[in-house]
Structure 1
Amino acid sequence: MCLLGIDLGGTTIKAGLVDIKGRLLVKGQVPTGAAEGAGAVLERIATLAGDLARGQGLAMQDIKGAGIGIPGSVEVEKGLVHLAPNLFWRDYPLRAELAARLNLPVAVDNDAHVAALGEMWQGAGQGFNSLLMVTIGTGIGSGLIIDGHIRRGVFGYGAEMGHVKMVREGPQCHCGGRGCLETLASATAMVRRFREYLAAGQSSRLQDGPDLGAREILTAAAAGDELATRVVDFAASYLGMALANAVLLVGPEAIIIGGGPAQAGEVILAPIRKYLAESLGAWQIKPLPVLAARLGNEAGIIGAARLALELLEHRESF
């Protein structure tokens, strides 16, 4: 059996064919072209899926089902995308439209949920039945799995850690709120704070410029740069505090940190663990693993394939 996993982003469509054991057989990507409308986006998905199948010597009917993760709020039971700002979609019947183009059963979910599912199936979350995955990037996304099942919440986005309010009169967030976690601890927030320190006269071996990003700040921190270390520590302090609040609410077995900054390893993971432990205090009854995600950009593809597999298993049980 072969499954199609699709990771739909505002800029890029990534897709791959995955077998029922979770092995990625082939993958590819194309530009999203969201400004051209939903129909054009779905045609690109269908074309990419056909190309992947032919490349493996398969026909589309050899694919048993498809899963897709999208950056937005999804009503999973109906396959309805209520809001996906990066795609300019509102109340779009994605499951029905994509199933018609692919002639396959389709499962739809939020992309952070799908990535968490992928990490639990084939990545750093293997062996855990409950986990919280937090992805650090331009913003902060998250997915919560309890007892092997994604927790989506009544609005379809479940554990939205990036918009947990951390500071009452904190920085303005694009969501309209203030003091959201992603305004304090995302990759974007790290760069902004670093530049603010430089503008205030703080010194660093790392200079400002158009190519300055969180990766460069984390690399400088790993090399001992004091200002970069201060910026990383500030972000980690809020991440640790937010994660402690989540742990006290839902008690996951493990925490998975994904996104570009997580690839820096212990320079970001060690201070997150430190502040998590401090915030939990006596409530940390036993060690709580905080692990770097392992699947990288493939998490969304593999997780979406798992979503498709669960849909097929659900159908077969009736």
Structure 2
Amino acid sequence: MGLTIGIDVGGTKIAAGLVGPDGTIGARTHRDTPANSVDETAAAICDAAAELIAGHEVQAVGIGAAGFVSADRSTVLFAPNLAWRDEPLGARVAETLKIPVVVENDANAAAWGEFAFGAAKDVEHMVCITVGTGIGGGVVIDGELLRGEHGVGAELGHMRVVPGGHRCGCGARGCWEQYASGRALVREGRAQAESGSLAAAQMLSVCGITDPAELTGPMITEAAAAGDPCAVELLDDLGRWLGEGLASIVTLFDPSVVVIGGGVSAAKELLLKSAQVAFERNLPAKANRPHPSFGLAELGNDAGLIGAADLARRPVTAARA
């Protein structure tokens, strides 16, 4: 199959691109996301796709959406940041555009992008973790995307790590993303600053702010890169939580490669070093089993778009050709 379109639907922006069989992106476009309106969101998706279709032979459209997607890759069962509830998005967009449409969870799409064209392109078993505001995850086993019986598998960020812990947006308590995500990093940084910690006050000064409420994840990362002790400690703690969770995930799936992406991965070695130490410390039977390699995602913010476009070429199975 030739050209396909990949569409990454976020809470504020819809990014679309024309993608070739080798994963390269040609034309691009974007639209704002009218997150409170199902009809307007579908219309914006169709409008972006139609712009790219004009003048090209496009075979299919792949849509990456944050939320639960049905096993038939057509219906968004639930989206935390959009108004989709049992929304037949695939059928609706296909009816308008008159070409096949595949809908996939955005983290699954990003994982597939890294598997097919990025950091895991040379293996058959991989786990991809996207560490942003929350944690997204995708798993590929024997060259196939793991989706589960109902299409909602591999929600790795909602693995329970602290019984009775912080309340998560999913409604449960103690989910992994409440301790190993950008949201957790900012929460802990602000808490230290509000406690009157002199080290945290120095970190705020390095960030050029005085109000803890203005602190952001990128600010902490930049301060850590500049050597600020408090920021380094915050990222080290985040890495510890990340590594401990990955030890459990590797025990379950035995991947060749663990790929870490998302905004927080910009911290690179400041995060990966402590994550790997915690991983090695907590992996069961660590002296008697092969260990996966760790690597940073290579496709950046385009991973979901590229992955969705490639999955649109594979409407029945996600097996590597």
Name the TM-score, length of structure 2 as normaliser.
0.91
Q: 8 Å contact 2:161–2:176 — kept in the other structure?
A: yes
Bigger mean CA offset, 300-309 vs 202-211: 202-211
1:215-267 Cα offsets, whole Å, 9 max, x none, are 11122223222211221122111111111001111101111111111122111
Which SS does the other structure have where 2:81 is aligned?
helix
Contact 1:185–1:236 (CA under 8 A) maintained in structure 2: yes
Where do residues 1-12 of structure 1 align in structure 2 (5 Å cutoff)?
A: 1-12=2-13
User: Please, which of 216, 231, 236 is the counterpart of residue 239 of structure 2?
Assistant: 236
Aligned to 1:301: 305
Taking only aligned residues, the RMSD between alpha carbons, in angstroms, comes to 1.9
Q: Specify the SS of the correspondent of 1:4.
A: strand
Q: Quick check: 1:173 aligned with 2:177?
A: no
Matched ranges for 1:5-154 at <5 A: 5-35=6-36, 37-54=37-54, 58-59=55-56, 62-77=57-72, 79-154=74-149
Unaligned 5+ residue runs, structure 1?
none
**Pair 194,97 (structure 1): closer, same or farther in 2 beyond 3 Å:** same
Aligned to 2:293: 289
Report the identity percentage. Answer: 39
- Deviation at residue 287 of structure 1 after TM alignment: 4.0
Residue 273 (structure 1) aligns with: 276
For residues 253 and 73 of structure 2, the distance between their equivalents in structure 1, rounded to whole angstroms, comes to 27
Alignment of 1:205-216 (within 5 A): 205-207=202-204, 208-209=210-211, 211-216=214-219
Q: Which residue of 2 aligns with 1:226?
A: 229
Structure 2, unmatched stretches of 5+, are 205-209
Counterpart secondary structure, 1:121: helix
Asked whether the equivalents of residues 251 and 284 of structure 2 are also in contact (C-alpha less than 8 Å), the reply is no
For 1:226 and 1:171, locate their aligned partners in 2 and report how far apart those are by CA, in whole Å: 26
Given residue 142 of structure 2, which amino acid in structure 1 is its aligned partner? Answer: D
SS at match of 2:140: strand
Show CA shifts across 1:262-295 (max 9, x none): 1221111111111111111543633421111111
Residue type matched to 1:29 in 2? H
SS in 2 for 1:193: helix
TM-score by length of 1: 0.92
CA contact (8 A) 2:189 2:215 kept: no
SS in 1 for 2:183: helix
Does the 8 Å contact 1:243/1:276 carry over to 2? yes
Checking the alignment, whether the CA contact within 8 Å between 1:65 and 1:312 is kept in structure 2 is no
Residue 190 of structure 2 contacts residue 215 of structure 2 at CA under 8 Å; is this kept in 1?
Answer: no
Cα distance in 1 for partners of 2:53, 2:89 equals: 22
**Equivalent residue pairs, number:** 309
Give distance in 1, aligned partners of 2:50 and 2:260: 33
How many angstroms does 1:91 deviate by? 0.9
Q: Deviations over 1:81-109 (max 9, x none)?
A: 11113111111111111101111111111
